[in-house]
Every structure is written in C-alpha cells, then in structure tokens.
C-alpha cells in the first residue's frame, strides 16, 4: 500500500461566474521513503493540490470537489478537524515558501518548535526545549543553544527556513510536503536547504512531496516526477525515465528554459505565450496555444494518458519521440 495515494483529485475555486475547476483528475502515489516532485508554472494547481492534501484549503475560496486522498489507507478528505489534527503536524507536515509569513514574529523560534512537540508528544517544557535544540542542530543552525532564543527577524532567510524544516520534522513525520521551500532563497542557500532535506530524508526515512516551478531542482532531488499544466498532470514517471526521454512538449519547454550553468547566455529560452486564464474555456489540449507542434486534433480533443515505457506516461497526441510525432 502506498503511503500517500491521491486519486482523481478535483479542486474548484469560486468566481463571480460560478465554480471553476482548477485541479482536474490529479492522481499520484508516494511510497514510504519516496520522493515525488510536482512541477509546473504558477497557477497550474500544484500548491492547491498540496493544500488539499493537508486539509488547508480555505473553503470560502477553493474546495475539493472530487477524488480521494488516502494516507496509509485512511481517507483524509472529509475528516473532522479533530481527526485531522492527529495526523497533521505529526505524521504529515508541510513547509512553505516564505518562512517569514509562517513563523510567528512575536515568539522565539525555540518556543515555536517546542509548541509542535508539546501538542503532539506531550513533552514537558524542559524536554521540549532540549529536543528543539537537538532539532536546530539537525538542521545545521550554528550555536543552536543560543539561537533557540532568537526571534525570527534575528535570523537570516536561510536560517528561518531551517527553523521551518525543524518544526516540520519535529514529530518525525512519515511524509513531508515542501511547497517551493527554496524559492525565496538565493542559489547557494537553496542548494544547502535541498541538501539538508535529502540528508534528513536518508536519516529519518520520511517520504517527500516537493512542489516546485523549477524542473532543475526536482531533477536533482526526486525519484518520481509529475509535470502539471493548467490543473492536470501532463507527464509523469520515474525521474530518470522522464528526463532521459522527455515526451511532452511542455516538459521539453521547461527543461529548455533552465539557464546553463557553464556559460553566459544573452537571451533565455522561454515557452512562448502565457497560460490561459482559469476563466477561459480551452477546448482540446490546454497547451495547444503555446505548443510548437500542435495540430488540428489538439484543438479539439484533450489527450488521455498513454504509456511511454514502464510507469512513464504522457498526455499528448504527438508525444515527442513517438511514431505519431507531428511534422
Ligand atoms: Fe502539443 Fe498537441 Fe501534444 Fe498538446 S496534444 S502537447 S498541443 S502536440
């Protein structure tokens, strides 16, 4: 049984014209100790998917309208808040993009780490403080016995994100969802945080769902990958299979837009056009207005998944490298 099994997840957002489906039939699984990267541009539905898994969707703006989310076989959608609290922050936890908005500015970081421990592990104040110092050491914050009494604004951006990681792993969760955990950080600190997450995963055996707009980050970090475009997974599979034989033009576009590290370039490659707004009804393949190999059928029929090899699947009438390829 997979640790996390998301099946046919649907999420809608409210708009003046009525509900609009923004996540449509998303399915993926995460095994114990596994890592999946969910990648796509802003607005593709990846963060809404992670919020839905954690039960953090604001029902007044977005809600799940279909599908299932099972954690160790337990259906999470529809749990009461009380039932959910036993799992969230304990067996499943999450880190967000911007630690300054997640950490409470008026509490010392040590108290914020200890709060999770006291809530889920019933530790005494003294034991929670000792464990908080140990966690700060684990996330490689220097002089943890001093930093534990700092307020968030007294730490650097990288250190604040390390504190968020410490809070997330405080109760040794089986699953960590990391939503753009390095986007607000500079490149060097990004690498350090990703390295830290990898090391912690090896030490603790937790599974990780990494949400990112950066295919390069996911390629370095994940075993499995799911590429999302406009609310749907358009390509998925083992990372090594997807990156060695890219099948969807959108994935190819994302890869081509990663700047080379070994030379300067004057103009970066980009995927032409923009993601159509969520209000826009796009018939056929939702990528067709930006796809350089789109043909007539693409504007009429939305492609279903087809298998490239093994677990590598793609939604495209003309999967790159296939015999159907458009001329
Ligand atoms: Fe491009 Fe057509 Fe494939 Fe969509 S289905 S990605 S438009 S070739």
CB-CB contact of 93 with 56 (8 Å): no
Residue 100 pLDDT class (50, 70, 90 cuts): confident
Residue 194 shares a structural domain with residue 246? no
CB-CB contact of 46 with 38 (8 Å): yes
Residue 321 pLDDT class (50, 70, 90 cuts): low
Ligand 1 midpoint to CA 289 (Å): 9
Residue 75 lies in a domain: yes
Which of these three, 222, 248, 276, is where a domain ends? Answer: 222
Total tally of structural domains belonging to the chain? 2
Residue 57 shares a structural domain with residue 155? yes
Computed over every residue of the chain, the mean pLDDT equals 89
Query: 216 or 64: which carries more pLDDT confidence?
Result: 64
- What pLDDT, on the 0 to 100 scale, is given for residue 262? 73
Which of these three, 222, 242, 269, is where a domain ends? Answer: 222
Ligand 1 atom closest to the CA of 286, numbered from 1: 4
Residue 65 shares a structural domain with residue 151? yes
Query: 204 or 101: which carries more pLDDT confidence?
Result: 204
Residue 193 lies in a domain: yes
Domain that holds residue 91: 4-222
Ligand 1 midpoint to CA 305 (Å): 12
Residue 279 shares a structural domain with residue 135? no
Residue nearest to atom 3 of ligand 1 (CA): 316
Ligand 1 midpoint to CA 236 (Å): 15
38 Cβ neighbours under 8 A, 6+ residues apart? 28, 46, 49, 50, 209, 210, 211, 212, 225, 226, 228
**What are 229's two structure tokens?**
């475009």
User: What separation in angstroms does the CA of 53 have from each of 193, 217, 327?
Assistant: 23, 22, 41
CA distance 279 to 178: 28
Span 273-291, mean pLDDT?
92
Residue 242 shares a structural domain with residue 110? no
Residue 290 shares a structural domain with residue 177? no
Residue 325 pLDDT class (50, 70, 90 cuts): very low
Residue nearest to atom 7 of ligand 1 (CA): 288
**What are 48's two structure tokens?**
């809404």
Coil/strand/helix, residue 176? strand
Residue 216 shares a structural domain with residue 73? yes
Span 174-180, mean pLDDT?
92
Which of these three, 191, 222, 253, is where a domain ends? Answer: 222
Ligand 1 midpoint to CA 255 (Å): 17
Cβ count within 10 A of residue 49: 29
Ligand 1 midpoint to CA 317 (Å): 6
Ligand 1 atom closest to the CA of 298, numbered from 1: 2
Ligand 1 pocket test, pick from 288, 305, 322, 327 with the greatest ligand atom count within 8 Å of Cβ, gives: 288
Residue 89 pLDDT class (50, 70, 90 cuts): confident
CA distance 69 to 88: 14
Residue 326 pLDDT class (50, 70, 90 cuts): very low
Cα radius of gyration rounded to whole Å, the chain = 21
- What pLDDT, on the 0 to 100 scale, is given for residue 123? 86
Least confident stretch, 62-71, 184-193, 200-209, 307-316: 184-193
- What pLDDT, on the 0 to 100 scale, is given for residue 286? 95
Query: 259 or 45: which carries more pLDDT confidence?
Result: 45
Residue nearest to atom 5 of ligand 1 (CA): 316
Residue 179 shares a structural domain with residue 249? no
Judge whether residue 144 has pLDDT over 50.
yes
Using a 6 Å CB cutoff, which residues line ligand 1?
Answer: 248-249, 285, 287-288, 291, 293-294, 298, 303, 316-318, 326
User: What is the torsion angle, in degrees rounded to the nearest 10, for the CA atoms of residue 87, residue 99, residue 108 and residue 199?
Assistant: 70
- What pLDDT, on the 0 to 100 scale, is given for residue 327? 40
Residue 303 lies in a domain: yes
Ligand 1 midpoint to CA 250 (Å): 9
User: What is the torsion angle, in degrees rounded to the nearest 10, for the CA atoms of residue 130, residue 133, residue 137 and residue 139?
Assistant: 120
Ligand 1 midpoint to CA 25 (Å): 18
Query: 259 or 297: which carries more pLDDT confidence?
Result: 297
The torsion angles phi and psi of 79, rounded to 5 degrees, stand at -65, 150
Residue 119 lies in a domain: yes
CB-CB contact of 215 with 46 (8 Å): no
Express as a percent the part of the chain with pLDDT over 70. Answer: 97
């Amino acid at each position: 049984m997979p640790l996390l099994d998301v099946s046919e997840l649907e999420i809608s957002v409210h708009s003046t014209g009525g509900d609009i489906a923004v996540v449509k039939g998303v399915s993926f699984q995460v095994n114990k100790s596994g890592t999946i990267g969910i990648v796509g541009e802003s607005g593709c539905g990846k963060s809404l998917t992670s919020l839905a898994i954690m039960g953090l969707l604001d029902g007044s703006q977005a809600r799940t309208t279909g599908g299932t989310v099972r954690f160790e076989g337990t259906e999470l959608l529809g749990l009461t808040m009380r039932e959910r609290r036993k799992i969230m922050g304990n067996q499943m936890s999450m880190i967000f993009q911007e630690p300054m908005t997640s950490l409470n500015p008026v509490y010392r970081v040590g108290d914020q780490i200890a709060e999770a421990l006291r809530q889920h592990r019933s530790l005494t104040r003294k034991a929670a403080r000792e464990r908080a110092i140990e966690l700060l050491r684990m996330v490689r914050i220097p002089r943890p016995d001093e930093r534990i009494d700092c307020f968030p604004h007294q730490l650097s951006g990288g250190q604040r994100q390390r504190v968020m990681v410490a809070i997330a792993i405080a109760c040794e969760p089986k699953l960590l969802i990391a939503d753009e955990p390095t986007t607000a950080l500079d490149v060097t600190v990004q690498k350090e945080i990703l390295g830290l997450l990898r090391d912690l995963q090896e030490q603790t055996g937790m599974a990780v769902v990494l949400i990112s707009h950066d295919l390069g980050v996911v390629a370095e970090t994940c075993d499995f990958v799911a590429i999302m475009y406009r609310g749907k997974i358009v390509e998925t599979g083992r990372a090594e299979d997807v990156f060695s034989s890219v099948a969807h033009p959108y994935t190819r576009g994302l890869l081509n837009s990663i700047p080379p590290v070994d030379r300067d370039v004057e103009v970066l490659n980009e995927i032409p056009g923009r993601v159509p707004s969520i209000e826009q009804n796009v018939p056929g393949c939702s990528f067709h207005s930006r796809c350089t190999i789109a043909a007539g059928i693409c504007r009429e029929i939305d492609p279903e998944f087809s298998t490239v090899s093994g677990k590598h699947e793609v939604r495209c009438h003309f999967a790159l490298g296939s015999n159907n390829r458009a001329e």
